[in-house]
């Protein structure tokens, strides 16, 4: 099992907006067969205004298949671009991590 984690560094005071954007993205994922994601926010620790968006996939091949499929889907691409355009003003950047999930 693999876990992909995207750590968004929100602009000061914009973490709630980033959380909402992550929630808005889930129906887009659902419509295109994507995984259910989890959202985390910092609790007065480390880098503030941090939002983590994380989901699990069975393996790297499943992740690659999913990424390839949505890259071929014009409807998904349009939805993603519209969604992403609204995210950009809320963040300073993001980090992506890929983890082995031990069960």
Q: Structure pTM?
A: 0.88
pLDDT, one tens digit per residue, over 68-93 is: 988 899 999 999 999 999 999 999 99
Count CB neighbours of 15 within 10 A. Answer: 20
Query: Tens digit of pLDDT for each residue in 41-69?
Result: 998 776 789 999 999 999 889 889 988 98
How many angstroms separate the CA atoms of 7 and 12, rounded?
Answer: 15
**Could you give all domains of the chain from N- to C-terminal order, each with its CATH number?**
2-97 (3.30.70.100)
Query: In the sheet where 50-57 sits, what is the strand order?
Result: 37-41, 50-57, 2-10, 91-100
């Amino acid at each position: 099992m693999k876990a992909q984690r995207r750590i968004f560094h929100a602009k000061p005071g914009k973490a709630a907006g980033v959380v909402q954007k992550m929630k808005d993205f889930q129906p887009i994922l659902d419509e295109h067969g994507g995984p259910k994601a989890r959202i985390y926010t910092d609790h007065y620790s480390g880098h503030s205004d941090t939002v983590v968006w994380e989901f699990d996939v069975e393996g790297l091949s499943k992740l690659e298949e999913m990424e390839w499929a949505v890259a071929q889907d014009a409807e998904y691409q349009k939805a993603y671009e519209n969604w992403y355009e609204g995210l950009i003003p809320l963040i300073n950047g993001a980090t992506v991590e890929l983890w082995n999930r031990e069960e």
